[in-house]
Chains A and B, each alone.
Chain A
Amino acid sequence: MITIKIAFFVGLALGQLSAQELKMPPNLDHLAAKATEVVDVTLDANLLQLAGRFLSDKDADDAKVKKIIGGLRGIYVKSFEFEKPGEYQDSDVEPFRAQLRSPAWSRIVGVRSQKSGENSEVYVKTEGGKIGGLAILSTEPKQLTIVSIEGSIDPDQLNELGGHFGIPKLGTDSPHKASKSGKDE
């Protein structure tokens, strides 16, 4: 009986652990002081719901966004742009990467360029055979971007956003231009 109870609680704890959402490393905040541009977007379920109320069903672009955020629980973005290389360390992003090593997450893309020093990784979380989360970790010598999207998301829907709201079409040239629009706060 005791064994069953222990197994139940261990199972419960593991279940909660896998369901746990990604957390933005708090140590990233000190990078803001060194960065020339900072984007820090935190949209929890309540804010997504609020934003959704201001997206028109009649507007095609708004309708697409509304469809995307319908299944989301949160969107968290932190992006830093620095004047010179070496302003952040690998250890700054390690706590975030460590969370992505849990069984719930799988790395679907990893791109490392020795020449440019770029390193990009895309992770997805699967929940019941569907994508239940998306994480992007992109490091460049002078730029660091972390994206965490929680909830049911269809990458094809994201693809459809290309060409709208200043978003480049996927696969087109100079894609990063739009992200350098300035500070959010």
Chain B
Amino acid sequence: MEDFERQLKDALSRKEPSPSFEAKVFGAIAAQQTGRIRFWRWAAALAVMLLVVAGFWMRHERQIEERAAGEAAKARLQLALRITVTELAKIQKSVRTSTEE
């Protein structure tokens, strides 16, 4: 019985941690923090990269749309001018014909 009590006492007695224990704990915390910081750095870099790519893509799409609209407007303009000049030519011809008559 005495032996058991002694063993129990020994087990529950306060023991000083080894000198390297504190360093190990702080090291583990620092490693964890470094890993987290590294993750967020990569995440931020990826987000920035995605934003840049999305920006370029949107700009490219807008340019394509603008070009299509511009080419369509140009074609309409040419058609409008063609009809206008054609009508004027026709009127000019009619005037000339009636004058000659």
Count, chain A residues at interface, CB 8 A? 49
* A-side contacts of B80, CB under 8 Å: 41, 43, 75, 77, 147
Cα distance A128–B98 in the bound complex, in angstroms: 32
Query: Would you give the 0/1 interface string for B62-74, flagging 1 where the beta carbon is closer than 8 Å to chain A?
Result: 0000110111011
With A55-B74, A111-B98 as known contacts, state yes or no: A161 contacts B85, CB within 8 Å: yes
Count, chain B residues at interface, CB 8 A? 29
Q: Are B79 and A138 in contact (CB under 8 A)?
A: no
A53: nearest residue on chain B (CB-CB)?
B70
Interface pick from B33-41, B49-57, B87-95: B87-95
With A120-B91, A122-B91 as known contacts, state yes or no: A176 contacts B86, CB within 8 Å: yes
Cα distance A167–B83 in the bound complex, in angstroms: 8
A114 shortest CB reach to chain B, Å:
11
Q: Is the interface of A mostly helix, strand, loop or mixed?
A: mixed
Q: Is A25 an interface residue (CB 8 A)?
A: no
Q: Is A24 an interface residue (CB 8 A)?
A: no
With A43-B80, A111-B91, A111-B95 as known contacts, state yes or no: A54 contacts B70, CB within 8 Å: yes
Q: Are B94 and A79 in contact (CB under 8 A)?
A: no
Q: Are B86 and A178 in contact (CB under 8 A)?
A: yes
Q: Is B60 an interface residue (CB 8 A)?
A: no
Chain B: residues with CB nearer than 8 A to chain A? 66-67, 69-71, 73-74, 76-96, 98
Q: A43-B77, A167-B82 are in contact. List 5 more A-B contacts (CB 8 A).
A: A65-B81, A69-B77, A136-B84, A147-B84, A158-B88
Nearest 6 interchain pairs by C-beta: A51-B73, A175-B89, A54-B70, A41-B80, A111-B94, A51-B77
21 contacts between A and B (CB under 8 A): A50-B69, A50-B70, A51-B76, A54-B70, A54-B74, A55-B74, A134-B84, A136-B87, A138-B91, A147-B80, A147-B87, A162-B89, A165-B81, A166-B82, A167-B82, A168-B89, A171-B89, A176-B86, A179-B83, A179-B87, A184-B79
